[in-house]
Chain A
Amino acid sequence: MGIRVVNGSNPCHAPPMSNRENLTPDAPWIQISTTEADWDAAEPSLLTSMLSQLVLIRTFEEAALELAAEGNIHGPAHSSIGQEGGAVGSVLPLTSADTVNGSHRGHHQFVAKVLAHVAPEGIDPRADFPAAVGDVLLTTMAEICGLDRGFSHGRGGSMHLQWEEAGAIGTNAIVGGGVPLAAGSAWSHKHAGTDNVAVTYFGDGAANIGSTLETFNLAAAWDLPLCFFVENNLYAVSTHVSEVTGEPRLSARGPGFGMASWKVDGMDPLAVYLTMQDALAHMRSGKGPALIEADVYRFFHQNGPFPGSAFRYRTKEEEAHWRSRDPIDQVSSHLVRRGILTEEQVADTTKRAKALMAEILGELTEPVPGGKPDERRIKQSEWPDPAFVDVGVRGDLSELEGLRFEDEDSSTAELAEVKFIDAVAGVMNRRMETDDRIVVLGEDIHRLNGGTNGATRGLKDRFPDRILGTPISENAFTGLGGGMALDGRYRPVIEFMYADFMWVAADQLFNQIGKARHMFGGDGTVPVVLRSKVAQGTGYGSQHSMDPAGVLSTNPGWRIVAPSTPFDYVGLMNTALACDDPVVVLEHVDLYTSTGIGPVEDYDYYLPVGKAAIRRSGNDVTIISYLAMTQYVLKAVEEVGNIDAEVIDLRWLDRASIDWDTIGESIRKTNNVLIAEQGARGTSYGGWLADEIQRRFFDWLDQPVQRVTGGEASPSISKVLERAAIAQDPEVVEALRAMDLNGTEADNG
């Protein structure tokens, strides 16, 4: 070789004498298949239970498809017919305390889990099905049809099946969306000192999405007892797995994340059962998560009663091959072979299951008046009351009753001028000290003496196992927090280093956390606090400088607080932590370094939900603001001098918590409104508020509701451009003067 390496190695051409070594992942990757000996060794009651579950699930789904074909199911009904082996084999070794969630194709897993819950000793296929079995199947079918007697009063339907008592914590219509939530459940199992596990079911399609991959990493990093159960049915709708990934053996991904992984034939329920036993032993002994890939096949298309071949993305031959490996046939043949059941008994099991389903459909439907013979419709009495539409979007706040509510003017605490950031760290120290349920998670919060701003100072030393420094994966750790909140044993506090990261975690914030309570029936609790830093003016540029209030307020499930003083921070954070609804606490980095009135050592008072603060009383104009903009507004009012402005610091920004009493009283007095905020116009907060004000107080307005916002574009890093993009006191001064208010010089003279 004529190349002479002068300094260091040549990255492109390895020297001929270099050593090469094949590396292997540390985590095992194992394929399990059964032998006849396994079938012979299996307990008869295990095999009969498998058959009962397989047949009940199959006939249940056939009944659902029947209703769908009649137009009696609104929306999709994704059947899993053909895939039951994976669900039954993996659920049977679980207890009711183990939790499962799943995807849009989740009937089989859900039914398996609730059947195992109501019949923990198994279901004998020879005997009449227990009443409880009929009851849960009826309730499940009602939910799939969108009916009031369903688990979620018909709000969830086919894709959002939840029965927490059975450990079925909710299936999910966002591909991969439920995976981080299951991690929250797993974290709770582990932190509570149990050996319970969480299982999250998803398909091959979800194996490529960020939520899933981020959660692989997070669960492995934290050794969470979480089973990622991939039902690889080869097709994401019509796209074959080999088209969308370089390694279609999806379990190959586990070792790359340091996660023990198994591959198993999912059409063989016993093989799945044995695999799950191994995985459970691994997880229950604290060794971290497991990945199981079960190869399965759905006999029908994505949804509806037609096979995939009807849509030409797969062949009839392929379908016939997989149908020949039907899990029901496999289990029945071994039962008959071993003389446990006769063929007649197997056939009778199916017959009785079909009769049960007919009974269930009869309970929910009635003949169409004047319709054709056999034409049926949902019984009118089964539908939910349309008035139920918005019930339970958020809680009734009864959990806050009896708390020590105090405002600054009525405070019994010793108050002084304190640093804002000390109030932030102080109240969290105090709450974590009095409430073991509080867990804080976010990036770098455990280092740097309290994270990047000192907000979590001192917490890691005092509460090492409740301060969780996360990987940079907002969607996963936000979802993990959401999963904790839905689980209910812990009250997570999630920190976003910058508000703009909201978009990265948008699925978890909005589709999952924000909607969960309502979607699952309106009576659950979701006690999660999101501390979102707002960093306008720090020079971090276009992707780190947004005010998220406007976007957050579009989602009705979230409450939003915006503390502008140390006193308010403590009281609002305490209320947020005590509230059973999701609450965002906006924290402006400008305020961190500010000082203001706050408690010297009393961190135990609460500010009431929905109470704004009047920072200045006046008669000429009502200026509505929040967070760091409040101080700029007060400064602007002083500068203008001759306008007697009333300045309202909203504190609570969401539609449900906003203080209409204070706003209304002020507007009736001043008849003029200016809404002032710092952030960019497009994502700004005040639009909905202006709309609401003009409708509520039209007859009291003396001019259109005026607004101050930042510019159209997101703030740039260049200092002058950044300043020009955000609104501060000069912009408020200009707006006030343009309003041509009564307090002009002429009038004052």
Chain B
Amino acid sequence: MAELLRMPEVAAGATSAVLSQWPIEVGSSFSSGDVIAIIETDKAVVDVEAEADGTLVHIVATDGEEVAIGDPIALIAGPGETVEDVDATLASLGVSESSPATPASSPASTDTAAAPQAASSPAAASAPTPTTVDETTASHGRLFASPIARRLAKEAGLALAGITGTGPGGRIRRRDVEAAIASGTAAPAQSASAPGAPTAPGVAAEFTETPHSRLRKAIATRLVESKTTAPHFYLRGSARVDRLMALRAEINEGEELRVSVNDLVLKAVAVAHTRVPAMNVIWTADALRQFSGVDIAVAIATDTGLVTPVLRGVQNLSIRQIAEATKDFAARARSGGLKQNELEGGSTSVTNLGMFGTEDFDAIINPPHSSILAVGAAKKQPVVAGDQIEVGSVMKVSLSVDHRPIDGATAAEWMREFTALLEQPAKILA
């Protein structure tokens, strides 16, 4: 019995996702657990696994097409089953359009199918079947958008490239831009002007424009949301970390797996959160959410941008487990292999620019977290010990806090606990 494969809801609240790739060809069979579709969201590339054995009969969504959650992406059938009349079957399942139906292995023909139904053709006007613009624009480098759509997008600071057109030939129309603004899915447009740089009078700096990646757009959207909705306040602290460095050296001695300072910091954060539970909260629309365990997001820089996979239950993890997990995250972040659920949750993040020598900096909270800890480099400097000045390694940290769920005193208490832990690192391990 043929049935529809629908776009799964890979992230809570998402309205759509992009069908990234079909790893198997139309007509081929698959076994339960095989990856039969690859889907891309703002945050991750997700493998869709087959729930049972079967056959891929027909694809509805083509590569690169953005599909609303719950809309059909393919027609599948039982093992060895064939479907005589695909259109009729689709129709019986409520899918009216007999769309591309082209195997993923020949993307060129997809272009043909989605090619502009020549705007000058009268037929296009009388049969305005919405078609998607993605393939057309990608392959022809020409984006069709009505003048008012361009104007509205410009006013809203949105890039047209991220908006799907529903007009004739895939033209982006006013309603498409309005929908993008309403859903917040489109990415901000890159400013055309070169900021700050002094230029010769009367000669504007030359520039090139790189279309935003999905990840870049997601980062931008989330950080704008954070800065504009979460009222940040900042606490600065510093700790002498000679003992922490010694501890790390001791742990790493003779071991293949290297524990980083950051792994120790993560553990210290988990302990501090356990000691000051009022920090282990997040703000939601209607309630304050108090977590029992400590889930911490780790900021990982990749070539395409920042990702923040979440370490679960850090309070229960050993240093070695933390080290293993962060290395795995880093490796998979760079290969694009993080799963959507690994990117969700947590109450705080740790971001560390110490490896670049940055001494201290302030970070923007990663929603829905209530705080983020920005960690600088441990540097040798004169420190006052008793009444003596001696050389010591000092690490500076800055904690950005969402003032909605957390007040300053709570954060200050946390900072005191945290810096104390860094200075007495054995307690981190306790």
CB within 8 Å of B: which residues of A? 671, 698-704, 706, 738-740, 742, 747
Q: Does B83 contact A (CB under 8 A)?
A: no
Q: When chains A and B are docked, how far (Å) is the Cα of A701 from the Cα of B152?
A: 11
B contact residues around A706 at 8 Å (CB): 125
Tell me the smallest distance from the CB of B155 to a CB of chain A, in Å.
Answer: 10
Instruction: Count residues of B near A (Cβ-Cβ below 8 Å).
Output: 16
Contact A742/B175 with A698-B147, A701-B148 known, Cβ cut-off 8 Å? yes
Q: Does B173 contact A (CB under 8 A)?
A: yes
Tell me the smallest distance from the CB of B257 to a CB of chain A, in Å.
Answer: 56
Q: Is the CB of A699 within 8 A of B150?
A: yes
Q: Is the CB of A702 within 8 A of B148?
A: yes
Contact pick for B148, options A700, A738, A739, A747, CB 8 Å = A700
Contact A740/B128 with A701-B146, A702-B173, A702-B174 known, Cβ cut-off 8 Å? yes
Q: Does B126 contact A (CB under 8 A)?
A: yes
Contact A738/B146 with A702-B173, A702-B174 known, Cβ cut-off 8 Å? no
Q: When chains A and B are docked, how far (Å) is the Cα of A701 from the Cα of B146?
A: 7
Contact A699/B174 with A738-B125, A738-B128, A740-B167 known, Cβ cut-off 8 Å? no
Q: When chains A and B are docked, how far (Å) is the Cα of A699 from the Cα of B149?
A: 8
Residue on B nearest A704 in the bound complex, by CB: B119
Residue on A nearest B126 in the bound complex, by CB: A738
Q: Is the CB of B128 within 8 A of A671?
A: no
Q: When chains A and B are docked, how far (Å) is the Cα of A740 from the Cα of B131?
A: 13
Q: Is the CB of B128 within 8 A of A742?
A: no
Residue on A nearest B171 in the bound complex, by CB: A703
Which 3 pairs show the lowest CB-CB distances between chains A and B? A740-B128, A671-B148, A702-B146
Contact pick for A699, options B126, B147, B168, B175, CB 8 Å = B147
Q: When chains A and B are docked, how far (Å) is the Cα of A700 from the Cα of B146?
A: 9
9 A–B contacts from the bound complex (CB under 8 Å): A671-B174, A698-B147, A699-B150, A699-B151, A701-B147, A702-B148, A704-B119, A740-B167, A747-B175
Residue on A nearest B129 in the bound complex, by CB: A740
Tell me the smallest distance from the CB of A91 to a CB of chain B, in Å.
Answer: 63
Tell me the smallest distance from the CB of A703 to a CB of chain B, in Å.
Answer: 6
Residue on B nearest A697 in the bound complex, by CB: B147
Q: When chains A and B are docked, how far (Å) is the Cα of A702 from the Cα of B167?
A: 9
Tell me the smallest distance from the CB of A720 to a CB of chain B, in Å.
Answer: 23
A contact residues around B149 at 8 Å (CB): 702
Q: State the majority secondary structure of interface residues on A.
A: loop
B contact residues around A702 at 8 Å (CB): 146-149, 173-174
A contact residues around B125 at 8 Å (CB): 706, 738-739
**In the complex, chain B residues 126-155 whose Cβ is within 8 Å of any chain A Cβ:** 126, 128, 146-151
B contact residues around A699 at 8 Å (CB): 147-148, 150-151
Contact A742/B174 with A701-B147, A702-B146 known, Cβ cut-off 8 Å? yes
Most buried by A among B119, B146, B150: B146
Told that A671-B174, A700-B148, A738-B126 touch, could you supply 6 new A-B pairs with CB distance under 8 A?
Answer: A699-B151, A702-B148, A702-B174, A706-B125, A738-B128, A742-B174
A contact residues around B150 at 8 Å (CB): 699
Q: When chains A and B are docked, how far (Å) is the Cα of A671 from the Cα of B176?
A: 14
A contact residues around B126 at 8 Å (CB): 738
Most buried by B among A699, A739, A747: A699
Q: When chains A and B are docked, how far (Å) is the Cα of A547 from the Cα of B146?
A: 32
B contact residues around A698 at 8 Å (CB): 147
Contact A700/B128 with A671-B174, A742-B174 known, Cβ cut-off 8 Å? no
A contact residues around B151 at 8 Å (CB): 699-700
A contact residues around B128 at 8 Å (CB): 738, 740
Tell me the smallest distance from the CB of B321 to a CB of chain A, in Å.
Answer: 52
B contact residues around A671 at 8 Å (CB): 146, 148, 174
Q: When chains A and B are docked, how far (Å) is the Cα of A740 from the Cα of B171?
A: 12
Q: When chains A and B are docked, how far (Å) is the Cα of A596 from the Cα of B356?
A: 82
Residue on A nearest B174 in the bound complex, by CB: A702
Q: When chains A and B are docked, how far (Å) is the Cα of A739 from the Cα of B146?
A: 13
Q: When chains A and B are docked, how far (Å) is the Cα of A699 from the Cα of B125?
A: 21
A contact residues around B146 at 8 Å (CB): 671, 701-703
**In the complex, chain B residues 90-142 whose Cβ is within 8 Å of any chain A Cβ:** 119, 125-126, 128
Q: When chains A and B are docked, how far (Å) is the Cα of A427 from the Cα of B260?
A: 96
Tell me the smallest distance from the CB of B124 to a CB of chain A, in Å.
Answer: 9
Tell me the smallest distance from the CB of B173 to a CB of chain A, in Å.
Answer: 5
Q: When chains A and B are docked, how far (Å) is the Cα of A742 from the Cα of B149?
A: 13
Contact A740/B148 with A671-B174, A702-B173, A703-B173 known, Cβ cut-off 8 Å? no
Q: When chains A and B are docked, how far (Å) is the Cα of A703 from the Cα of B171?
A: 9
Residue on A nearest B176 in the bound complex, by CB: A702
Tell me the smallest distance from the CB of A366 to a CB of chain B, in Å.
Answer: 43
Residue on A nearest B177 in the bound complex, by CB: A702
Tell me the smallest distance from the CB of A620 to a CB of chain B, in Å.
Answer: 10
Q: When chains A and B are docked, how far (Å) is the Cα of A702 from the Cα of B166?
A: 12
B contact residues around A704 at 8 Å (CB): 119
Q: When chains A and B are docked, how far (Å) is the Cα of A737 from the Cα of B151?
A: 25
A contact residues around B168 at 8 Å (CB): 703, 740
Residue on B nearest A700 in the bound complex, by CB: B148
B contact residues around A738 at 8 Å (CB): 125-126, 128
Q: When chains A and B are docked, how far (Å) is the Cα of A465 from the Cα of B148?
A: 59
Q: Is the CB of B175 within 8 A of A703?
A: no
Mark each residue of chain B from 162 to 180: 1 if its CB lies under 8 Å from any CB of chain A, else 0.
Answer: 0000011001011100000
Most buried by A among B147, B168, B171: B147
Q: When chains A and B are docked, how far (Å) is the Cα of A583 from the Cα of B128?
A: 42
Residue on A nearest B149 in the bound complex, by CB: A702
Tell me the smallest distance from the CB of A145 to a CB of chain B, in Å.
Answer: 46
Q: When chains A and B are docked, how far (Å) is the Cα of A349 from the Cα of B126?
A: 81
Contact pick for B167, options A700, A703, A747, CB 8 Å = A703
Q: When chains A and B are docked, how far (Å) is the Cα of A701 from the Cα of B151?
A: 10
A contact residues around B147 at 8 Å (CB): 698-702
A contact residues around B175 at 8 Å (CB): 742, 747
Mark each residue of chain B from 295 to 335: 1 if its CB lies under 8 Å from any CB of chain A, else 0.
Answer: 00000000000000000000000000000000000000000
Q: When chains A and B are docked, how far (Å) is the Cα of A742 from the Cα of B128?
A: 13
Q: When chains A and B are docked, how far (Å) is the Cα of A700 from the Cα of B150?
A: 9
Residue on A nearest B119 in the bound complex, by CB: A704
Q: When chains A and B are docked, how far (Å) is the Cα of A671 from the Cα of B128?
A: 18
Tell me the smallest distance from the CB of B78 to a CB of chain A, in Å.
Answer: 34
B contact residues around A701 at 8 Å (CB): 146-148
**In the complex, chain B residues 166-217 whose Cβ is within 8 Å of any chain A Cβ:** 167-168, 171, 173-175
Q: When chains A and B are docked, how far (Å) is the Cα of A371 from the Cα of B175?
A: 68
Residue on B nearest A703 in the bound complex, by CB: B146
Q: When chains A and B are docked, how far (Å) is the Cα of A742 from the Cα of B176?
A: 10
B contact residues around A747 at 8 Å (CB): 175
Q: When chains A and B are docked, how far (Å) is the Cα of A698 from the Cα of B173?
A: 14
Tell me the smallest distance from the CB of A280 to a CB of chain B, in Å.
Answer: 67
Q: When chains A and B are docked, how far (Å) is the Cα of A739 from the Cα of B127?
A: 10
Q: When chains A and B are docked, how far (Å) is the Cα of A338 from the Cα of B150?
A: 91
B contact residues around A700 at 8 Å (CB): 147-148, 151
Q: When chains A and B are docked, how far (Å) is the Cα of A404 from the Cα of B149?
A: 43
Tell me the smallest distance from the CB of B123 to a CB of chain A, in Å.
Answer: 10
Q: When chains A and B are docked, how far (Å) is the Cα of A343 from the Cα of B140?
A: 92
Tell me the smallest distance from the CB of A272 to a CB of chain B, in Å.
Answer: 67
Most buried by B among A698, A700, A740, A747: A740
Q: When chains A and B are docked, how far (Å) is the Cα of A742 from the Cα of B126?
A: 16
A contact residues around B173 at 8 Å (CB): 702-703
B contact residues around A740 at 8 Å (CB): 128, 167-168
Q: When chains A and B are docked, how far (Å) is the Cα of A747 from the Cα of B166?
A: 13
Residue on A nearest B125 in the bound complex, by CB: A738
Q: When chains A and B are docked, how far (Å) is the Cα of A703 from the Cα of B147?
A: 8
Most buried by B among A704, A739, A747: A704
B contact residues around A739 at 8 Å (CB): 125
Q: When chains A and B are docked, how far (Å) is the Cα of A706 from the Cα of B146?
A: 14
Tell me the smallest distance from the CB of B108 to a CB of chain A, in Å.
Answer: 28
Q: When chains A and B are docked, how far (Å) is the Cα of A739 from the Cα of B167?
A: 10
Tell me the smallest distance from the CB of B164 to a CB of chain A, in Å.
Answer: 15
Q: When chains A and B are docked, how far (Å) is the Cα of A700 from the Cα of B154?
A: 13
Residue on B nearest A737 in the bound complex, by CB: B126
Tell me the smallest distance from the CB of A8 to a CB of chain B, in Å.
Answer: 62
Tell me the smallest distance from the CB of B174 to a CB of chain A, in Å.
Answer: 4
